[in-house]
Amino acid sequence: MQNNSNISKEILEKLEQDCRISPKNLALMLDKEEGEIKDIIEDLEKERIILGYTAVIDWDKTDKEYVTALIELKVVPQRDGGFDKIAGQIYNYDEVQTVYLMSGGFDIAVILESRTMREVAYFVAEKIAVMEGIVATATHFVLRKYKEKGVIYSEDARADTRINLC
């Protein structure tokens, strides 16, 4: 990203807000040529700065049955791999959406989706807790999503209910 650093940052910011923006529209917004924008995006993808394009979906408004869980893990880092080795074993499971190395009381946070709480419990008990280096787990179930990736889920929640102290 060394070349075109400022324009690359602007492209990334715009795509992060709305990944549907076309190179043509980005070029208009940034006063650049469409071909230049396409080349920069291609470079950003090759460098794995842009890792993917996703939509934020309110699955509660569909008939999809799912549960989201946050699983905290206490870990003893493994020799020749540390936390990265354990994280790599975990993020390869299809149901795992996110894996973070954390500070605080737990070392790794895992966010996963499954069809039922029972499936989450099985996943934790049979796949995660038995892994070498995992010494403790804490599982939390998401009851309701209010905001994710900067997107507010409920129209009712959009009203600013913060207290104005001025």
With 70 as the cut, is the pLDDT of residue 158 above it? Answer: no
Structure confidence at residue 156 (pLDDT): 65
With 80 as the cut, is the pLDDT of residue 113 above it? Answer: yes
With 90 as the cut, is the pLDDT of residue 157 above it? Answer: no
Structure confidence at residue 2 (pLDDT): 46
* 124 contacts: CB under 8 Å, gap ≥ 6: 71, 137, 139
pTM: 0.79
Q: Measuring CA to CA, how many Å separate 96 from each of 38, 93, 112?
A: 32, 6, 4
> Contact, 82 vs 114, CB < 8 A?
no
Q: What are residue 19's DSSP bridge partners?
A: none
To the nearest whole number, what is the mean pLDDT of the chain?
90
Amino acid at 139: T
Measure CA 147 to chain center: 13
With 90 as the cut, is the pLDDT of residue 161 above it? Answer: no
Instruction: Categorize the per-residue pLDDT at 1 as very low, low, confident or very high, splitting at 50, 70 and 90.
Output: very low
**Owner of token pair 């700065």:** 49
What percentage of residues in the chain have a pLDDT greater than 90?
A: 74
Residues comprising the chain, all counted: 166
Q: Tell me the mean pLDDT in the region 79-84.
A: 86
Q: What is the pLDDT of residues 43-69, one digit of tens each?
A: 999 999 999 998 888 888 899 899 999
Counting Cα atoms < 13 Å in the Cβ hemisphere of 145 gives 18
- Percentages (nearest 5) of helix, strand, coil residues in the chain: 35, 20, 40
